[in-house]
Structure 1
Amino acid sequence: MTDRSAADLTEAEAVEELTRLADEIATHDIRYHQQDAPTISDAEYDALKRRNNELEAAFPHLVRDNSPSLRVGAARAEQFSPVEHGVPMLSLDNAFSNEDALEFDARIRRFLRLPGGEEIAYTAEPKIDGLSASLRYENGVFVQGATRGDGRVGEDVTENLRTIAQIPKRLAGSGWPEVIEIRGEVYLGHEEFAALNAANEAAGLRTYANPRNSAAGSLRQIDPKITASRPLKFFAYAWGQLSEPFAETQWEALGKLKAWGFQTTPESCRVISGQGLLDAYAAMEALRPKLGYDIDGVVYKVDRLDWQQRLGFITRTPRWAIARKFPAQQARTILEAIDIQVGRTGAVTPVARLRPVTVGGVVVVNATLHNADEIARKDVRIGDTVILQRAGDVIPQILGYVPEERPADSVPYEFPTHCPCHLHTPLVRETTASGAETVVRRCSGEFACPFQRIEHLRHFVSRRAYDIEGLGEKQLTAFFERGWVREPADIFRLARDEEKLTELRATDGYGETSVSNLVAAIEAKRSIPLDRFIFGLGIRHVGETTSLALARHFETVEHFIQTSEAASTQLGGPSYAALVELEGLGPTAIRAVLDFGGGNSPLLPEDVSLDKRLQLAIPKLNSRARAALLERFGDWDAICKVAGEAAQEEPGEDLRELAGVDAVGPVAARMVAQFFAEEHNLAKVEALLAELTVLPAERPKTDTAVAGKTIVFTGSLERMTRDEAKAQAESLGAKVSGSVSKKTDLVVAGPGAGSKLKTATDLGIQVMTEDEWLALVTG
């Protein structure tokens, strides 16, 4: 864990922490959503998301699809039939402070471009700590019910939901649409939970850690009679697929849900403006101890439904809603050991093994310590009493040790210098492309290191990559030790190797049925969508969102690999890398520095500060970017030198195309290029392609005026926000890029357009105004 704010981290440190957070949360998603057996509390889980959000706010170009902010739930369990949601069941962004809530209100106002005097109404609803469910009604009759699952596909638990008294079999009143999916939360009250656990304990059955897990386990019983014996309840608060609109505001919709026979949260209220959000939170926090059920926060929703539609979504979270979480708790325990784990990229992570301690009803037994520098900075030692907190950047957060309880014979922890694998290869500090050292230590064994190879294989078969059932860590390790599976292509070779399969049938734990199921699961993945293919390669900093963006941009695996291989020879030089890696410089600032370095330096007054000189020379730099340049390079001559060198070292067109794909950026683009620069990676990809058919990305619309065109928006847009413009273009089948190149088809330029407009003019690319754009796409 780290006490450093996101603003104090370098980009390399942020990348490493985001990677670690994504991996940890993915593991706990499965335990929470699919197995109903989490090993951490909800607050600890939220702690990961909170730190992730802090990092993404400070480094927006590092957001990728395995981020908790872009992921919903976990895949369904196999014992239930799949139900594809008519409208995805999305997760919510989190807020943890008054400042976060006020910023949410400000973001809504900025996006909608509301005049200062126009008020925004919100609903504030208690966030029920239960299991999300969707109920489909046709002509007022309940016909199907499902869990959230991964947000797109849930589990069919219709018969179990029918046993809940608060779910009407037929809607009351009138005015409901012919088809409507009612959404809400299945939960257990405190008294019912205590009684159920007591009864289970007396009968020698499983007990649950908290009411949420108990509700989830009860609803997901194979036998509906067991569910019926559990006192489950249901609150309705939202809807999914509709055959027709039925309300104009969220508040009106809640009233209609109640009139149709559903229970809605009586504590919900309608408030005005940011101050109204704060008042509602304070009131809900005061009510929390008096409620008969668990809530872990307050959900704020923009009341007007037409505004909700205009605000839209950010990948898998709505812009128009946010969950304000309640604060965390602390506990103390003993740090009994520190183990070293090796990830698939070779990064080593120290893990604190703790004397089990219950925090908020959940037993905590371990926590990450991040890196050697963090251990030294905090001076935590084996045998220390440490303070844990249910909030922060990891699960759980270690705040520090208790000095008065430190054993007299304690010694500082010595971080190992070699990998714990049998090869004992040296651990080396990672360096950035510009040569700067980071806090990350990596095993230098690369693919010789068995830990890294196993982690690569685990990533490959994971649910968000190839999703191969029956190939868990235990099976992969066994196959790896036998020498059967050393790279991803070996998995598909194994499925057709009758000699190995015969030997496997004779192995304990396997049989004809198990082997047949495994082979069928492997064969089912010989056709794979392009985004999953890219994600399964395990390229550093390329998560689900980045993979999907790359797939949609390049459309075919051939185009993606061709461009990536070409980009591998166009990485740029160390001065360019130093600019890209510099904290505080986003794409616009980097472009401005490069333009300055590649042009004639203007005559500047000598009797002004360096900051003022920078401001005059490169007007597009904000104060943070100027401060970053001054801190890193020191004086005017050094800044001019690195700008000039960087302009000469700028990457080639193919790498710029990769970096210009929306949601990719320069860091992930460099990682893709470096991956394809390695011969062993190329061989791995070639072997995999020999076993697979990679399906092209879903084709965008082709019947619009801009379908298939690459669009760049630059300058200020006056009739819509940049987000709205991007969403509009993509909905019409266009690709939106952040940079202008020969492959750009159209540039939409507003007031203040600078270097992108100049580049477009130099390249002879069509340029139009915002009004001309709107006429083109709406005419």
Structure 2
Amino acid sequence: MSTAKTSPEEAVDAVSTDTPPSDSLREEYETLSDQVRKYRFAYYNEDAPLVSDAEFDQLYRRLEKLEALHPELVTNDSPTQEVGGEVSAAFAPVEHLSRMYSLEDVFSLDELDAWVKRAEASIASIAPGSKVRWLTELKIDGLAVNLLYRNGELVRAATRGDGTTGEDITHNVLTIASIPRRLQGENLPSEVEIRGEVFIPSKEFTRLNEKMVDAGKAPFANPRNAAAGSLRQKDPKVTAERPLSMYVHGIGAREGLGAASQSETYELLKAWGLPTSPYYKVLETYDEVLEFIAVNGEQRHSLAHEIDGIVVKVDDFALQRALGHTSRVPRWSVAYKYPPEEVNTKLLDIRVNVGRTGRVTPYGMMEPVKVAGSTVEMATLHNQDVVKAKGVKIGDTVVLRKAGDVIPEIVGPVVALRDGSERDFVMPTHCPSCGTELKPAKEGDVDIRCPNARSCPSQLRERVFHLAGRGAFDIEALGWEAAIALTSPAEPQTPPLTSEAGLFDLKIEDLADVRIERPKRSKGVVVGTELVPYFYTKGTAKKPSEPSANTRKLFEELEKAKSQPLWRVLVALSIRHVGPTAARALATAFGSMENIRAATEEQLAHVDGVGPTIAAALEEWFAEDWHVEIVDSWARAGVRMADERDDSQPRTLEGLTVVVTGTLPNFSRDEAKEAIITRGGKASGSVSKKTDYLVAGENAGTKLDKAESLGVPVLDEDGFRQLLENGPLDSGSADNAEDNAEDEETTP
């Protein structure tokens, strides 16, 4: 291999097709071939993937690129010339009547666009004037299975294997309730191969792994791994205990079947009693295909099963036959794969974080890895029961998932890569921040908490960080590091804040001596640590230390925060369950902090959007003297504790529940909610049968789909303005007694 700092892929790019492959490129090709074979065998034959799908795809594409540049390297046993995996000796081999192919994968919309144009050009040349319709469906992350029916009777089931020969798994498939032993109806084909995917639904996968761990067994890495492992059990009784499902999506060999298209075949399959996917559409245009991809990309984690992409097929069988196949894939179908959201990385440690309400949350510290567009090195594990249910150990290689802006999640361990050095996580019995014994807040709680709410440094730090957030005082200059500096500076300093009560009494000179520990560097290399001022600049002989620009901005924003509306003050107090929705409802109903404090638990619970749980939490919070001192101290410092009531505002939305989704040109999300609440309505965050109206802006997403399916009226911004001004067009309104309790914690 060359010692130059060039990646293998760059090395491939740098070589002309006219140049014979060098020894280093031949070595690269052999290494890639061996890796792809090894990982493919583990995936298909041992049901124990050693790398993530994204990593395998990257290796496979590099191999394809090398072969495209140097066709002389390609041999008959190249992994790119094979379909799927080998046939295991543990099962009887079965020859398919009609070959089972793989699908060509594309990884970007540009590649999909190029594929569609090639397919359309080929169709135009072989069948001029033909109209192409695209059958578009979800790419199920499961195990490909071939069902053979003769005169309507299921006589055999087999895995795909290498495409020509599969494994006989008939006895195991017969345990899957959704697969009929006999087809329904009359005039059934004398012989037909029906192809589909066996999978485990997402919710059932979680339950299955919990059972595996409880039984002392290793959990599965992913649903596909679980489905494949379940179908390859030697004892069908074990398979019967697994929550397997199947969707059929294709036809192999057929006799006496006269369907003219893929979609027509799907209707036949459904009529025969076979389980077909509800997630497919026949689309007339490529733009509709793109929309299908976008919509299902947003919804992919709310579907019944895991998917990793979208399959696009030419619907017409005559056109399929005309386009034909390569040695490995059909030319009439392609799989668009979504950007990877799962990768493998090393779990270096499991630590715990103590949140602002005292909840102790385990989280994983991992080797930094890029996933879903960002570098991740920490992921939540929620509580000790979740750690146990996932079966992860410190030192494991783990599957990490990050979907868009969602907090990264550790899915589970890659058990096949364990070497015995891994160790179990043990939940601490005492708070790592203050040493107080940990315990549940009440009997039966899964979460354990640090009861030292007043003095625990971690809880104070988290509360200070929370009160500066966008949903509370919105103090941009008070971030995570500033919260640490204010509450937990480097020892032996006394923190400027020992309670959030003193936040608005701070003076800029109080922060002059605050130091934090930072890495010390010499010529760009870390050589230790040093204490440096956080809020002030480093002083020199010529220029004495002075408040930094960010510190001056902090005090300007603290002054602005004093005039924030009452609901933001309520959120800033970190009262358990009181998030923005409940806080707005309380502020609207009572108008002032004094009225809220004076209200009985029954009066609080009666407020729409509050309910008994939040009411009890409020009563409990105000019963603590040190909590009351926070409110009183802020009030003395000039923090606004009452809203100006505008009694002239018409109550046009009294009793109505309105959901706002997407982007509105002239309303921020908070402004839209405020407009609804001040007119007597309830601004809900989820669509249900109790929703009266959905206001949909640009990129409305899944809430719009749900509203349409439930028959909820949908308004654009103009319609929303009319609703605010005039109320509903009819007199009907929905019962909207819906609890919106929120208990937000900050997790690293």
With the shorter chain as reference, the TM-score category is 0.3 to 0.5
Structure 2 length-normalised TM? 0.44
Name the structure, 1 or 2, with higher relative contact order (CA <8 Å, separation 6+). Answer: 1
- Return the index of the structure with the highest Cα Rg: 2
Higher share in helix: 1
